[in-house]
């Protein structure tokens, strides 16, 4: 049965049937006077229309497929271009960071031209919530020793407490165990920074032993004085946040806001040999 519907005989039968149907339609409509050409047109037009629609659909399909292939190729090209741009941006950012780091180092060396500095990266911070103890990725193999002074681009950080071959532990000057000889830049009043537990928790420290007659005010810059030989002179410590008279009524003290943001500290510079030479 399936072979019958696929045979040429069946196709011819369909054509004859359509022709007879058209002839009968001609007789029914106008008594058979309709031209044979018109009858053929009536019969063939649906098939022609169907064929045209199929051809148009196939053509549109292949056109859409070709367009799809073009879009895929364009998308891949855009992906590659985007990847290249991201790589260039990353390289540019890395270069910018390195240039900034070198500029900061140059500024430090210009301020304290007698120092020999080793740059190091902060790899961990103490978990006490006070950011007072740091670990860096340089140690004795780089010439770093205990008590070496540690600074950042913005100012004083602290000193080295413990050293390993390729690591060292740094204590911030805000720690209660640390005291630094200091001077107010504007007034040249000398004093000493002292860490306290209360101020350390706030990221601050105390400036003690100021003369009662000192004209220091809020916003004054405090730097290292160099007295005592442990810290070189001229390194910025911070700014005065508040100032008061001591309970004894004879001296003043101030609260210092450190110049270094310890919570954001990423790179430091260790001044090698200075502390050991001066303190000994």
What per-residue confidence (pLDDT) applies to 278?
Answer: 44
**What is residue 77's predicted lDDT score, i.e. its pLDDT?**
77
80 three-class SS: helix
**Over 70: is that where the pLDDT of 218 sits?**
yes
Q: Compute the distance between CA of residue 28 and CA of residue 20 in angstroms, rounded to an integer.
A: 12
Q: How many CB atoms sit inside 10 A of residue 64's CB?
A: 10
CA 191-196-249 angle, 5° bins: 50
**Mean pLDDT within 84-105:** 63
Cβ(122)–Cβ(271) under 8 Å?
Answer: no
Calculate Rg over the CA atoms of the chain.
44
**Mean pLDDT value across the chain:** 77
**Would you tell me the crossing angle of helices 36-111 and 8-30 to the nearest 10 degrees?**
110
**In whole angstroms, what is the distance from residue 45 CA to residue 186 CA?**
103
Name the least confident of 31-40, 45-54, 106-115, 137-146. Answer: 31-40
Higher model confidence: residue 182 or residue 63?
A: 182
Are 155 and 174 spatial neighbours (Cβ–Cβ below 8 Å)?
A: no
**pLDDT-based confidence at 79, cuts 50/70/90?**
confident
Tokens of 239: 């700014």
Task: List 244's β-bridge partners, or say none.
Answer: 253
Averaged pLDDT for residues 122-144: 83
Query: Could you read off the pLDDT of 151-209 as tens digits, one per residue?
Result: 998 899 999 999 999 999 999 999 988 999 999 999 999 999 998 888 888 889 999 99
Nearest to 168 by CA among 275, 260, 264, 256: 275
For 4-41, how does the pLDDT look when each residue is reduced to its tens digit (9 = 90+)?
555 555 555 666 666 556 555 554 555 544 455 555 55
Query: Which uninterrupted H or E stretch holds 159?
Result: strand 155-163
Distance CA 216, CA 221 (A): 9
Give CA–CA dist 104/239, Å, rounded: 20
- Joined together, the tokens standing for residue 107 give 């500024």
Contacts of 259 (CB under 8 A, 6+ apart): 154, 155, 156, 236, 237, 238, 239
- For position 270, what pLDDT does the model report? 92
Phi-psi region of 203 (alpha: psi -120 to 50; beta: other; left: phi over 0): left
CA 73 to mean position of chain CA atoms = 31
Q: pLDDT (tens digit, 9 = 90+) per residue, 246-280?
A: 888 888 999 999 999 888 888 899 988 775 444 43
**CA 123 to CA 136: how far, in whole Å?**
5
């Amino acid at each position: 049965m399936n072979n019958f519907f696929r045979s040429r005989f069946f196709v011819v039968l369909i054509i004859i049937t359509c022709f007879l149907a058209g002839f009968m339609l001609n007789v029914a409509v106008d008594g058979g006077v309709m031209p044979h050409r018109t009858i053929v047109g009536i019969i063939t037009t649906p098939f022609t229309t169907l064929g045209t629609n199929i051809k148009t659909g196939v053509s549109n399909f292949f056109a859409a497929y070709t367009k799809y292939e073009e879009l895929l190729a364009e998308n891949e090209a855009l992906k590659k271009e985007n990847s290249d741009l991201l790589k260039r941006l990353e390289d540019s950012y890395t270069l910018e960071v390195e240039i900034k780091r070198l500029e900061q180092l140059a500024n430090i060396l210009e301020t304290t031209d007698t120092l020999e500095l080793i740059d190091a990266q902060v790899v961990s911070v103490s978990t006490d919530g006070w950011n007072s103890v740091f670990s860096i990725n340089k140690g004795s193999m780089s010439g770093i020793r205990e008590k070496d002074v540690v600074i950042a681009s913005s100012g004083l950080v602290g000193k080295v407490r413990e050293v390993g071959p390729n690591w060292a532990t740094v204590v911030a000057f805000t720690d209660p165990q640390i005291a630094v000889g200091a001077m107010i830049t504007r007034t040249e009043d000398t004093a000493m920074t002292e860490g306290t537990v209360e101020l350390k928790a706030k990221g601050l420290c105390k400036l003690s032993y100021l003369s009662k007659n000192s004209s220091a005010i809020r916003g004054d810059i405090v730097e290292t004085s160099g007295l005592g030989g442990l810290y070189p002179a001229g390194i910025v410590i911070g700014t005065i946040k508040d100032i008061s008279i001591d309970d004894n009524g004879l001296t003043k003290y101030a609260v210092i806001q450190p110049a270094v943001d310890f919570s954001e500290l990423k790179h430091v510079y260790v001044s090698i040999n200075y502390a050991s030479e001066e303190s000994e």
